[in-house]
Amino acid sequence: MTNSTSALKLLVFSLLCLFYGHSAAQDNKGWELKRQSDGLNVYVRDAANSDVKEIKIETTLDASLHAVVAVLKDVPVYEEWIYKCQEAYRLKPAEDKASLYYCRVDFPWPMSDRDFIAQSRLRQDPETRMVYIDVKGKPDQKEQTEDVVRIRNLDIHYELTPVSNSKTQMSYRLHSDPGGAIPTWLVNMVVDNGPVNTVKGMREMLKSEKYQNAKFAFLK
């Protein structure tokens, strides 16, 4: 390997460290602890370009990294654990590290139900084994029906850190605007309710032998 090649690789590595280090620092700014209960630390902060608060939940799950990823990849069973999820299915065949799916969320009468289309992408740090899953709203990937309100702004981020073969630390960030005529102050009042119940639902799903025994070749 020539000196110039080594220098170029070192420069690229340094720039990546600078970029991702700066991004991580930005991600950790402005969070306010809202509550601690049932092993969950729940935080909120102001979101950029939106009056709806962003939420973050941190917890340790009694499951392996592979088990947690297995639950998150199993779109057809989202109805069983994601809070108020009424219907969920893939819009494209499943891939190891990506998924495009549809989800309909039950809203109380007289409000209309909401739905969203999401694209998820998974990556893993080969050194730390940490898994990052980014979920972005893709509202125009499926025709909207008249009886629901399409959620157009959706941003979810998971950070999964393996603690042991049977424990995984999870950081779950969510920002979503339900749209429609719901006052922002009301949305912010209950902004953590759905995510908290979703994480509790995930805990229950992780008890299943189906997930406890999951193994993926693409994960270290």
Q: Does 34 fall in a domain?
A: no
Mean pLDDT across 193-217 = 96
pLDDT at 7 over 50: no
Domain count, the chain: 1
Mean pLDDT for the chain overall: 88
The pTM assigned to this predicted structure is 0.85
Please answer whether residues 115 and 103 qualify as being in contact, where contact means their C-beta atoms are separated by less than 8 angstroms.
yes
Distance CA 136, CA 195 (A): 16
Q: Which pLDDT value is given to residue 27?
A: 67
Residue 161, domain CATH: 3.30.530.20
Distance CA 98, CA 50 (A): 27
Higher pLDDT, 20 or 129: 129
Q: Does 4 fall in a domain?
A: no
H or E segment at 114?
strand 113-124
Q: Does 33 fall in a domain?
A: no
Q: Does 13 fall in a domain?
A: no
Please write the tens of the pLDDT for every residue from 152-183.
999 999 999 999 999 999 999 999 998 877 87
pLDDT at 45 over 70: yes
Q: Which pLDDT value is given to residue 189?
A: 80
Q: Which pLDDT value is given to residue 216?
A: 96
Q: Does 98 fall in a domain?
A: yes
Residues whose CB is less than 8 angstroms from the CB of residue 64 and which lie 6 or more positions away in sequence, other chains included: 162, 165, 166, 167, 168, 212, 214
Residue 188 lies in domain: 39-212
